[in-house]
């Protein structure tokens, strides 16, 4: 086992992966094991995310780009790597059509002041620094800061919000804001775009969560959590062989 102390930084997605399946985190971040596959949902999320970053960036500069064309370019990039994509019930063409419809339905909010804003937070002297990027920062009508994260979902709103409350609690330590929200892109027959207000975790809870998760990483916790997350897991073959 490679000590977690060798980790030079943490991120929301790392911590989220660990809490979902510690073994998956260990394969990825400790062993740097080669990926056997990538789930199409992951490639789709990356393509939507990168496309809308371009749309928001253009809007921030008073410009517009063709979102559908941008998605097509990002989708081709996302599935063109050497690692095979694991598709579920939707084919690559289905997902291309869904993605184009989804990003076309998105309208950037006014007064964007930051897109993919990088940040670093020191939560505790005994923890690695936490790094990340904030999807979107804007000002509301009164000039207050609003921090937003963009999510794709199978429904109009997210019903399980603990993970995004933690994520936005972390962001609030980097960029304290008056309002926090997620922009939910619903992959429905008619795509939906819904702004969902989120109450972020308080400072104390964020710090405690990261301390506890890092202590578990450092202690070598790496049990497998078998379930829906195994479908398309990049390390599923290796995990099955390990037992
Ligand atoms: S296959 Fe399942 S249990 Fe194994 S590492 Fe992946 S998510 Fe975890």
Residue 229 pLDDT? 87
Q: What is the pLDDT of residues 57-74, one digit of tens each?
A: 999 999 999 999 999 999
Q: What is the pLDDT of residues 23-34, one digit of tens each?
A: 999 999 999 999
> Hey, which of 230, 234, 237 would you mutate to test ligand 1's pocket, going by the most ligand atoms within 8 Å of its Cβ?
230
Cα-to-centroid distance, 120 and ligand 1 (Å): 29
156-57-199-159 Cα dihedral, nearest 10 degrees: 20
Average pLDDT over residues 169-182: 98
Strand ranges for 44-127 from DSSP E: 85-86, 112-121
| Number of domains observed in the structure of the chain | 1
Protein residue whose Cα sits closest to atom 4 of ligand 1: 239
What percentage of the chain has pLDDT greater than the value 70?
98
Give a yes or no: residue 239 inside a domain: no
Give a yes or no: residue 106 inside a domain: yes
Of 86, 88, 94, 93, which Cα lies nearest the Cα of 39?
86
* Residue 219 tokens, joined: 């202690």
What's the whole-number average pLDDT of the chain? 95
> Hey, which of 25, 233, 234, 241 would you mutate to test ligand 1's pocket, going by the most ligand atoms within 8 Å of its Cβ?
233
- The domain of 14 spans 8-231
Give a yes or no: residue 243 inside a domain: no
Give a yes or no: residue 1 inside a domain: no
Q: State yes or no: pLDDT of 6 exceeds 80.
A: no
CB atoms within 10 A of CB 151: 20
| Residue scoring higher pLDDT (222 or 4) | 222
Element (H, E) at 45: helix 40-60
Residue 7 pLDDT? 84
Give a yes or no: residue 190 inside a domain: yes
Residue 3 pLDDT? 54
Q: Which atom of ligand 1 is nearest to the CA of 236?
A: 1
Q: Contact, 173 vs 203, CB < 8 A? A: yes
Q: What is the pLDDT of residues 76-127, one digit of tens each?
A: 999 998 999 999 999 999 999 999 999 999 999 999 999 999 999 999 999 9
Q: What is the pTM of this model?
A: 0.93
Q: Contact, 169 vs 206, CB < 8 A? A: yes
Give a yes or no: residue 237 inside a domain: no
Q: State yes or no: pLDDT of 1 exceeds 60.
A: no
Phi–psi pair at 94, nearest 5 degrees: -60, -45
Give a yes or no: residue 240 inside a domain: no
Ligand 1 pocket: which residues have CB below 6 Å?
Answer: 21, 23-24, 224-226, 229-230, 233, 235-236, 239
Residue 212 pLDDT? 97
Report the CATH number at residue 202.
3.90.320
**Long-range contacts of 203-210, Cβ-Cβ distance < 8 Å, separation of 24 or more:** 203/169, 203/172, 203/173, 205/166, 205/169, 206/123, 206/166, 206/169, 206/170, 206/173, 207/123, 207/124, 209/15, 209/166, 210/10, 210/15, 210/123, 210/124, 210/127, 210/130
Give a yes or no: residue 238 inside a domain: no
Cα-to-centroid distance, 32 and ligand 1 (Å): 15
Phi–psi pair at 208, nearest 5 degrees: -60, -45
């Amino acid at each position: 086992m490679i000590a977690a102390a060798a980790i030079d930084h943490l991120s929301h997605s790392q911590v989220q992966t660990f809490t979902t399946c510690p073994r998956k985190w260990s394969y990825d971040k400790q062993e740097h094991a080669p990926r056997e596959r990538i789930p199409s949902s992951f490639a789709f999320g990356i393509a939507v995310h990168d496309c809308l970053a371009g749309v928001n960036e253009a809007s921030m500069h008073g410009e517009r780009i063709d979102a559908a064309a941008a998605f097509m370019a990002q989708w081709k990039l996302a599935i063109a790597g050497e690692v095979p994509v694991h598709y579920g019930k939707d084919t690559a063409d289905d997902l291309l059509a869904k993605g184009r419809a989804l990003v076309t339905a998105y309208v950037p909010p006014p007064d964007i002041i930051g897109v993919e804003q990088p940040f670093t937070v020191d939560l505790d002297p005994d923890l690695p620094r936490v790094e990340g990027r904030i999807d979107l920062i804007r000002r509301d009508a009164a000039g207050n800061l609003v921090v937003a994260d963009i999510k794709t979902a199978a429904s109009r709103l997210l019903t399980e919000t603990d993970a995004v409350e933690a994520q936005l609690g972390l962001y609030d330590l980097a960029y304290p804001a008056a309002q926090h929200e997620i922009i939910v892109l619903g992959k429905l027959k008619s795509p939906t775009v819904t702004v969902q207000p989120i109450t972020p975790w308080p400072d104390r809870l964020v710090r405690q969560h990261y301390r506890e998760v890092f202590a578990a990483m450092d202690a070598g916790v790496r049990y497998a959590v078998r379930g829906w997350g195994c479908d398309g897991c990049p390390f599923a073959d290796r995990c099955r062989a390990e037992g």
